[in-house]
Every structure is written in structure tokens, then in C-alpha cells.
């Protein structure tokens, strides 16, 4: 019932979410990373403020969380419209731009296939892993994998931040055939992501009990979770190479290879 209550409301805001996501990428692609960051921060901060208000003060529970989310998405949507029509952006939205053009749709699907394949396969793997853990490991295994998912996402956030900064630079210079600058951007991105990933791995190896202890006080979960975290993160120092290479392929318009990597 909770999932149904949440999804019923959240679907009403899906159009604002889709617009915000696509526009954010377009704004970042035209080189205005600050505006793209502001859009994300506005939605995230507003959501954090509205969540406790709707959940606890208005006593709406899970419905309140959904309402807070779609309101935040709507405000982000309004901010994007303000930016696009402020004259600061080279992008302009006209009604005739919304007319479907088959050659553009085909190109979008071709270039976006790699990202689509990556997300679909990731979801399939998550379903298989969760069901296997539920059958063979029980509730404790599911709790541990949930905690580790948060730890991994926290580690990946700065990596994806580097990648989001790399993408427009590589895209612009690849299109301008300035391949020396493309190589420089890739090299720098590889170094930064590898350093960040290695640092995160060292912290996880040295202080696994403290990290898991942030999420729970259960001794069994901390003990088992620490061991599993060390195994899962054992190859994380090289993840920067995978991410940078994948997104370089994505930027260089060779999505077939990106789809294979996914």
C-alpha cells in the first residue's frame, strides 16, 4: 500500500522530472555548469525542507514525501524556464521545436542506447541479486546490501561529478577536432577519479566497522557487512578507468561500444 500511495502521486510530477533531467543535461552541455548545479541543488534542498513538513507536521506520511518530491521538481522546472528565457542560454524553446522529427529521434536513440542498456542491465542485476539475497540470506542480507548501496553511491557521487565536468569538454573539443585537448581532459579525469576511488577504498578497508556503524547498531550486521563491504569494494580503485572510458565512448558518438561495455 505504501508503494502504491507513493507512485500514484509521484507519477503526476514525472513530466517535470523528465523536463528537469533533460534540460539539466542540455544546460551543462552548453557549458554552464553553475546553472546546472543550481537546478539540482534547488530541487534537492527544497525536497529536504518539504519532506519533514509534509510527513510530520501535516501528517501525510508517504504521500507527503511524494508531494514534497513533485513540488520540488516543479520548482526546478520553473527555474529552468526562467533560465532559458532570461537570455543567458543559447537554447530557446519554441512550440515548433516540439514537433517530432524522425531523424532527430533516431539519432537520440542511437546515441542514448549505451546509457539505456547500462541502466536496464543494472536494474536486472539488482532484481536478481535482491531476490537471491532474500531467498538465501534473509532479511539481514537485504539490510546489508541496502547499506552498502548507500556507501557505494556516496563514493560514486564525486566520480560522477568529475565525469559531468569532463563530458562537455570532451564533446566540444572532439567536435572541433582538438584531440590533444580531448586527451588532456581524459588523462586528468582518469587521474582524479582513480585518486578519489583509491582514497575511498582505503577508508573502507581501514574503517569498515565505523562506516557500517553509521547506519546500524546491530553487531551482527556490522560484522557481516564489514566483511562483505571489503569484498565488494576490493576492485573500486580501477572503477575510474571504466567510468571515464565509458563516458568518453558516449561523448565520441560511438554508442555501440558503450552498449557492449554496459
- Are residues 136 and 250 part of one domain? yes
- Helices of type H across 176-207: 179-206
Same domain, 73 and 133: no
- Looking at the fold, whether 73 and 131 belong to one and the same domain comes out as no
Could you tell me if residue 112 is inside a domain?
no
Residue 35 shares a structural domain with residue 81: yes
Give the predicted TM-score (pTM) of the model: 0.75
Is 136 in the same domain as 54?
Answer: no
- Asked, for residue 105, whether it belongs to a domain, the answer is no
Residue at 108 is within a domain: no
* Residue 93 pLDDT: 78
For residue 111, tell me if it sits in a domain.
no
* Residue 28 covered by a domain: yes
In this structure, what C-alpha cell is assigned to residue 153?
Answer: 553511491
* Same structural domain, 1 and 91: yes
Confidence of residue 257 (pLDDT cuts 50, 70, 90): low
pLDDT at 255: 54
pLDDT at 13: 86
Q: What is the pLDDT of residues 82-101, one digit of tens each?
A: 998 888 888 777 888 778 88
- Regarding whether 148 and 222 lie in a shared domain, the answer is yes
Task: Report yes or no on 213 lying in a domain.
Answer: yes
- Does some domain include residue 136? yes
Count up the domains in the chain and report the number.
Answer: 2
Give yes or no: residues 149 and 71 share one domain: no
pLDDT tens digits, 122-148 = 889 989 998 999 898 888 999 999 999
Same domain, 173 and 262: yes
Flag whether 114 is in a domain: no
For residue 2, pLDDT over 60 is answered with yes
Gap between the Cα atoms of 77 and 34, Å rounded: 16
Q: Which domain holds residue 202?
A: 124-262
Same domain for 130 and 90: no
Chain segment 22-67, per-residue pLDDT in tens: 888 888 878 788 898 899 899 999 999 999 999 999 999 999 999 9
Copy the grid coordinates of residue 177. Answer: 577536432
88 lies in the same domain as 137? no
pLDDT above 90 for 165:
no
Same domain, 95 and 134: no
Amino acid at each position: 500500500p505504501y508503494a502504491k500511495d507513493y507512485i500514484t502521486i509521484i507519477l503526476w510530477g514525472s513530466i517535470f522530472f523528465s523536463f528537469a533531467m533533460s534540460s539539466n543535461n542540455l544546460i551543462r552541455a552548453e557549458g554552464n555548469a553553475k546553472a546546472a548545479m543550481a537546478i539540482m541543488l534547488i530541487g534537492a534542498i527544497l525536497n529536504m525542507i518539504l519532506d519533514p513538513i509534509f510527513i510530520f507536521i501535516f501528517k501525510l506520511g508517504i504521500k507527503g514525501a511524494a508531494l514534497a518530491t513533485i513540488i520540488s521538481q516543479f520548482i526546478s522546472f520553473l527555474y529552468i524556464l526562467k533560465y532559458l528565457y532570461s537570455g543567458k542560454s543559447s537554447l530557446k524553446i519554441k512550440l515548433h521545436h516540439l514537433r517530432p522529427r524522425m531523424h532527430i529521434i533516431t539519432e537520440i536513440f542511437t546515441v542514448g542506447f549505451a546509457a539505456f542498456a547500462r541502466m536496464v542491465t543494472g536494474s536486472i542485476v539488482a532484481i536478481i541479486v535482491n531476490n537471491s539475497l532474500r531467498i538465501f540470506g534473509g532479511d539481514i542480507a537485504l539490510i546489508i546490501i541496502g547499506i552498502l548501496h548507500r556507501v557505494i553511491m556516496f563514493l560514486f557521487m564525486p566520480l560522477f561529478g568529475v565525469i559531468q565536468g569532463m563530458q562537455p569538454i570532451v564533446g566540444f573539443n572532439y567536435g572541433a577536432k582538438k584531440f590533444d585537448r580531448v586527451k588532456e581532459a581524459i588523462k586528468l579525469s582518469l587521474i582524479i577519479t582513480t585518486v578519489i576511488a583509491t582514497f575511498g577504498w582505503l577508508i573502507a578497508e581501514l574503517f569498515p566497522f565505523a562506516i557500517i556503524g553509521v547506519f546500524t547498531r546491530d553487531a551482527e550486521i556490522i560484522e557481516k557487512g564489514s566483511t562483505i563491504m571489503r569484498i565488494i569494494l576490493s576492485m573500486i580503485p580501477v572503477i575510474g578507468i571504466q567510468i571515464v572510458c565509458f563516458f568518453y565512448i558516449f561523448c565520441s558518438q560511438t554508442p555501440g561500444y558503450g552498449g557492449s561495455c554496459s
